Structure 1
């Protein structure tokens, strides 16, 4: 077209015979027109076209690629694009741009690419094999995305590739052995995916490799000895979730340039190779959480560059080598959870750079090295759960850096050093279960950074020091000592306190009024002292209080009605005091109250009949001669005090009158009950069927249903009830097609005539999308604005709770119980990790784990579940008594860690056969605390097992013990100590393969985590 314009113009010039000057002008104009036409026909280069094609498959929510425009002649000015001098795209850097979607095959058309970075986005699908066409590529980083399926197998063509980083994706299948032929590869990271199978020996050909990471996959087989050929290697990470066969190849000792070796948590067995002594440049050696045996080689003293040495969570034995004193750069020593014995070498105290020393849960004896801490760098020391004796060294905080000091469960004696009272850096101090004596050092309760102080079960004496500071102290336990004197009035200075345990001492005087200022206090335990005063009404101001135990003192006066203001109070124990007067009716208002004990006082009057009091039996009130009602003597039989002498005939007539009145009362009561049930049936019928035309039923199906709302309503009769709970009644429904469903009628949440939706529709729509083999299917929901019905698949074997605890329940063998534990964990793991947004169940218990015809477990009942983004404060009690996590006592925040605690209780039910709460446990003791107490000895461990599973000789005890350990980890008091549900699934799944090496002696294994602390 441009040529036609020029020809035409020349003809016109010839015809009209214009001047030379005009000819030049016209020629210039035509050239410009030609350039414009050509430019409009092809506005962007071929690289730009490829990029625009790629962009069509990218979801760009942040509009980071908005300047990628078709009208640009080159893409060199586009976001994330760099070009060479010929305008060829050489770098594609789209890192951290909030991009998603898929990566198009058009990337293979960018033939000049040298660098590709897609790090920190959300790309899904396959990684295109067309990347192998980029024969100039040197760096490929697709880490922190969601690429899945097999890794491309033809990358061996990328002969110039130096960096390959695909960390944290969802790749699966075997590792591509072709990668072993990349001649220039220096950095190689395929960790954090789901690769399986062995490590290809061909990877030993990557002679220029300096960084190699395959950790966090599902690799098996042996670690190939060929890895020892990578003599340029500086960083090697092969651990975490891999499960190798065999031990550490001694050939790794040839990697003399190695700086960091991490083989943690990958099922290694055998002994520690002495050949590792040759790694003289090594600064970090991580071999924790394996099954390594034997002793620590003294030759490791030759690792002169070593700064971190972690051999924890293995089965190492023998003594700690004296040769470690040669490691003058050592900063961290972590040998906890092994079977080491003997003394702690005194030379360890002389290491100049030592900061962290973890030796807990071994069999160490002797004294703690006297000079420990003198180097001035020590900030974390944990020697708990050993058999150490002697005194606590005085210089642990010499440099003012000590933050964590844990020496609990030893045989330490003597005084607590006064220097600790002046150690301003202290955050956590746990010295419990020793034989320490003398006073609590002045200042220890006033340290500004202190968050936890535990001195339980020692022989400390004297008074409680004045509390001047400690503004962030949350946990104070100085119970089970010989402390005397009164509780300081300035205890209110601990305004962040959540737990205050002063029980079982010799404290006297009054309970300070200032305790009422502790608004975050969740547990107050003053039992077993000699406190003699009235109960301060100010305690009613502790709005977060869930457990109040003042039993076993000498308290007098009336029970303050102000206690009724504590809306979250769960446990109230005022037994064995000298209290008088009535039980305040205001306590009926506490809907969370699940356990009370008023026994052995001098209380009088009627026992409250409403609220939670209707569920408490007589054991909570015995020993009070003046109390009446409940299961005690009826109040009507208690004669009023005499006012005036009576005539003889009136005296004889009185018993008859009382008897007649009592009989009449019984008849009225029976008649009232019958009337109530009759009206209740009429009410239910009316609720379900009245105003059918005005309030029609709406059926919402989440999958194909062969029935309608009318057929569902016909099933809601008394004879079909198969369960009742706080959230509603469950009916068994036989549909005309023969299908059996479970229909749950939710309890009313509002007044008559008010909509009961409360987010019901939106929530059930989301729950209806859940598809997992271990979660009960929500088939649909039915509503008429007054009543909400949920339709579930029917589980013929009922709930786990019924089978474990009902007299008619089936005796489940261990294999079935183990299977149920894994399946239920998988269901909860799906809710916590795979739903978007994630879902917290909020009422995990054995009655909410249902079993199908094959005894497959299905997590059920989302009546209390909430769609979850962040921690949510709930206005009502979440969960069932015995399953509620301790932290819910002082904060109404629930998260996935609350579910994990509840699941730990379910695991304990499976192992012990016990209910979460049983009278045999004792007052205020649940199954978690009961198990912790029992497993202090080997015999106690066997005592907790459910005999219905079989005898100790027939059971696979190694498996049972590991499940018991997981249960106690899940039910840790502190949420931070509980594993994630994904880790719970992993641990339970590993029971079968790791169980044979389990030990019965769990007490030392669990004490450090506080799991035995009652």
Structure 2
């Protein structure tokens, strides 16, 4: 085909290689093979195409080095090799491409040896993008010779040293991004020459010194990102005077002084992020009139004064964070007729000194999902208008001075998953309407003056995984069924008139008389006074019956011990310890430990199925190697951890049997085995998407309980699909706590383990390299489980040497959730693709390399719950519209807002 000029095969599924005979294509000018699946070395024959002007091999799986012969393509104007798996050095011969106007080599390639200084000879170059390809060394001063350059992207590398002053020669530059490197020194004064600059990103480096005043004089600057450096001094007073600034992020520095009043001089400022500095003074009143604002984060400073009037009700604002300051004054009522169009979704004013009442106009924030007002001096009643916030997911009004009763209208917040009204002065009863909030999983009403009985309907809230009613004035019998059976007694402490089996406080005659209402109390007391003899007789007979029961129980227990002793004389007497009422005896446990009853084997022990005389099943785990070499194979850790846990999504430890040579843990039986066995077994295809999604949320809730509701915090350290067990209804339960570690929540630091523990393919990167473990290590492992559920594939094996499911998923999808169809389990006959895309989105958050950037398990559960709710609005999975897609995206970002910057 000697006359062929243009060859475009981009955005297909071609694979293999491009090692063609190019001798017949000598007139080719454009060769575009972008976004395919080619897996080979870059074709050397392309170098013979002397008339080639446009070459795009990006978005494939090419590996090896860039051929030095590509430097002979003197007519080439466009070269794109980004998004492959290229290695080695960037050849200096590319500096010979004198006609080149655009060069892009980054993103997933891994180069060594730094940026060749020869690239400074590309005098025609307009765009140079070498981002995210592991380049080290310094930024060559030779790049200052590229006087036609308007885009210079070197972000997300390992570059060090100072920013060369020669960059100031690039007077045509529009976009400069050197962020996420290890650059040091001060910002050079020569950058003041960049009068055309629209974007300047230097964030996540080690730069220091004052912010240059000339930043305020750049007439076209729209985006300024300098966060996570060591800048000191004040924010330039005239910053924003140019009327062009749209995004300003100076967070996590050491800036002092005040917030300039000029930042929104022409209503174009959209994003203002200044948190984690040493700023003081008042928030400028002008921000309350900045109609363009969509995101404001000023938390963790020393700001004082009141919140500007109108700031809460700005029409485009969806995120407002002012927490951890010294703000005072009232939360203003709204008097603007346009407030009904407010988009505010995240509001955090916690840990300030705000006073007065919560304004009733808060109901105008109809899109609000998170409202955090904890740790202030707010007083008055909880406004009933909060019930109009139908999108509210998290509400925290704790540690204030609120009075009055809990408004029953709060039950209208049907999307609420987190409600904390603790440490106030609330009184009255708990409105029973709260139990109608079907997805509420955290409820804290502790340390108030609430009274009457706790509504029995709350015990029936299946979603409720954590609750605290302690230190109130509750009375009456506490139901021992439903969710209450999963809570510790500490959740009800400080209520002396509460009774029930959960509290180990039987509801005797006198207890009933004091908790069933004033009329009953009076009547009972009077009756007792008139018939003291009858009462004493009844009391004596009761004691007699109890004594007989205890005597019979002692005889039965003694026989059980005797049977245990006879079955293992060498090992000594067996002892049974239980943590709740059980129907099995030591004999039942010992009798089940036969080969025919084995249901699982592992490195730490053998698991048997056992049955009680009444036919109920239990699982007995006999630990191997006990008392040999001083290693108990996780026995003490597992018992210590499990004995105090009650949660519907964590396997319950019923008790344990032990003698001098053996330990046996007894659990509730999970009929359908482990998720790993079901998902990766021959019949795993029957596990449909809805069931997989439900398992993901349930396992997430179990881990959320360990991380956020246990004191001290519990880190599992071995989260994997084989440790997620499925009961008869395929409900998920987190199991196997042999490696669990307890942490004091107040320390806020990770602990260093003596050796790597966990399972290959699930271990977080920081754990493997540093042996430091915290709850974010579990989050990473959970993200791997999410990928298993999406793909149906095991975490390791079948991806190539040294490649696990995380690397494979990232590479196959290019970390773009729109490409998730490439990795979904082929056994899933029907799949709501939008929902799968966003579960993948959450998984990618969980498996981020930097543990700090991973969400908490509470955030994960909220995101998954919200995604599912919105993704199922359409009757048919295939009929989801693009607007629904965007809505789900919006909810993800609002629940995890740091993703935006």
TM range (shorter): 0.5 to 0.7
Say which of 161, 176, 180 aligns to 1:309: 176
Contact 2:303 2:326 in 1 (8 A): yes
Q: Does residue 87 of structure 2 align to residue 220 of structure 1?
A: yes
What is the CA deviation profile of residues 713-772 of structure 1, one whole-angstrom value per residue up to 9, with x for unaligned ones?
xxx995876699869999xxxxxxxxxxxx97449xxxxxxxxxxxx997349999xxxx
Cα distance in 2 between the residues matched to 1:464 and 1:866: 53
Q: Does residue 848 of structure 2 align to residue 964 of structure 1?
A: no
Cα distance in 2 between the residues matched to 1:827 and 1:441: 44
> Which residue number in structure 1 is paired with residue 507 of structure 2?
635
> Which residue number in structure 2 is paired with residue 805 of structure 1?
740
> Which residue number in structure 2 is paired with residue 335 of structure 1?
202
Query: Displacement of 1:321 after TM fit?
Result: 1.1
Q: 1:840 to 1:727 in 2, by over 3 A?
A: farther
Q: 1:588 to 1:347 in 2, by over 3 A?
A: same
> Which residue number in structure 1 is paired with residue 17 of structure 2?
150
Cα distance in 1 between the residues matched to 2:85 and 2:804: 25
Query: Displacement of 1:517 after TM fit?
Result: 1.2
> Which residue number in structure 2 is paired with residue 763 of structure 1?
686
What is the CA deviation profile of residues 770-792 of structure 1, one whole-angstrom value per residue up to 9, with x for unaligned ones?
xxxx9989xxx9xxxx98999xx
Say which of 85, 96, 107 aligns to 1:229: 96
Cα distance in 1 between the residues matched to 2:535 and 2:757: 70
Q: Does residue 790 of structure 2 align to residue 839 of structure 1?
A: yes
Superposition RMSD in Å: 4.4
Query: Displacement of 1:801 after TM fit?
Result: 4.5
Q: Does residue 258 of structure 2 align to residue 391 of structure 1?
A: yes
> Which residue number in structure 2 is paired with residue 917 of structure 1?
none
Q: 1:775 to 1:590 in 2, by over 3 A?
A: closer
Q: 1:282 to 1:447 in 2, by over 3 A?
A: same
Cα distance in 2 between the residues matched to 1:594 and 1:295: 52
SS at match of 1:539: helix
What is the CA deviation profile of residues 145-164 of structure 1, one whole-angstrom value per residue up to 9, with x for unaligned ones?
11112222422441101101
1:128-527 matched pairs, under 5 angstroms: 134-467=1-334, 468=336, 469=339, 471-527=342-398
Cα distance in 2 between the residues matched to 1:849 and 1:162: 44
Count of residue pairs the alignment pairs up: 677
Contact 2:786 2:843 in 1 (8 A): no
Contact 1:376 1:397 in 2 (8 A): yes
> Which residue number in structure 1 is paired with residue 664 of structure 2?
none
SS at match of 2:347: strand
Query: Displacement of 1:425 after TM fit?
Result: 0.4
Say which of 571, 575, 578 aligns to 2:442: 571
Query: Displacement of 1:804 after TM fit?
Result: 1.7
Q: 1:857 to 1:435 in 2, by over 3 A?
A: same
Say which of 885, 892, 895 aligns to 2:839: 895
Cα distance in 1 between the residues matched to 2:262 and 2:416: 39
SS at match of 2:62: strand
Contact 2:283 2:308 in 1 (8 A): yes
Q: 1:207 to 1:150 in 2, by over 3 A?
A: same
Q: Which has the larger radius of gyration?
A: 1
What is the CA deviation profile of residues 330-366 of structure 1, one whole-angstrom value per residue up to 9, with x for unaligned ones?
0000000000001110101100000000000000011
Q: 1:191 to 1:514 in 2, by over 3 A?
A: same
Query: Displacement of 1:638 after TM fit?
Result: 3.9
SS at match of 2:377: coil
Cα distance in 2 between the residues matched to 1:414 and 1:503: 22
SS at match of 2:31: strand
Contact 2:19 2:45 in 1 (8 A): no
Query: Displacement of 1:1011 after TM fit?
Result: 7.5
Scaled by the length of structure 2, the TM-score of the pair is 0.68
For structure 1, list consecutive stretches of 5 or more residues without a partner in the other structure.
1-133, 682-715, 731-742, 748-759, 769-773, 791-797, 874-892, 908-961, 978-1007
Query: Displacement of 1:588 after TM fit?
Result: 1.7
Contact 2:763 2:781 in 1 (8 A): no
Q: 1:220 to 1:894 in 2, by over 3 A?
A: closer
SS at match of 2:281: strand
1:838-877 matched pairs, under 5 angstroms: 839=790, 868-872=831-835
Cα distance in 2 between the residues matched to 1:967 and 1:204: 42
> Which residue number in structure 1 is paired with residue 817 of structure 2?
none
What is the CA deviation profile of residues 810-856 of structure 1, one whole-angstrom value per residue up to 9, with x for unaligned ones?
x98328667532799999999988x9xx9389xx9xxx9999xxxx9
1:764-843 matched pairs, under 5 angstroms: 764=687, 801-805=736-740, 813-814=755-756, 820-821=762-763, 839=790
Q: 1:582 to 1:827 in 2, by over 3 A?
A: closer
1:895-934 matched pairs, under 5 angstroms: 895-900=839-844, 903=846
Q: 1:458 to 1:652 in 2, by over 3 A?
A: same
Q: 1:669 to 1:487 in 2, by over 3 A?
A: farther
Contact 1:729 1:745 in 2 (8 A): no
Q: 1:725 to 1:569 in 2, by over 3 A?
A: closer
Query: Displacement of 1:652 after TM fit?
Result: 4.7
Say which of 542, 561, 574 aligns to 2:432: 561
Say which of 518, 530, 543 aligns to 1:659: 543
Query: Displacement of 1:459 after TM fit?
Result: 0.6
> Which residue number in structure 1 is paired with residue 705 of structure 2?
none
Contact 2:465 2:648 in 1 (8 A): no
For structure 2, list consecutive stretches of 5 or more residues without a partner in the other structure.
514-520, 557-579, 589-614, 623-646, 654-668, 674-682, 692-718, 743-752, 766-777, 798-802, 807-824, 865-894
> Which residue number in structure 1 is paired with residue 877 of structure 2?
none
Q: Does residue 494 of structure 2 align to residue 620 of structure 1?
A: no
Contact 1:839 1:867 in 2 (8 A): no
Query: Displacement of 1:895 after TM fit?
Result: 2.5
Cα distance in 1 between the residues matched to 2:469 and 2:761: 43
Scaled by the length of structure 1, the TM-score of the pair is 0.61
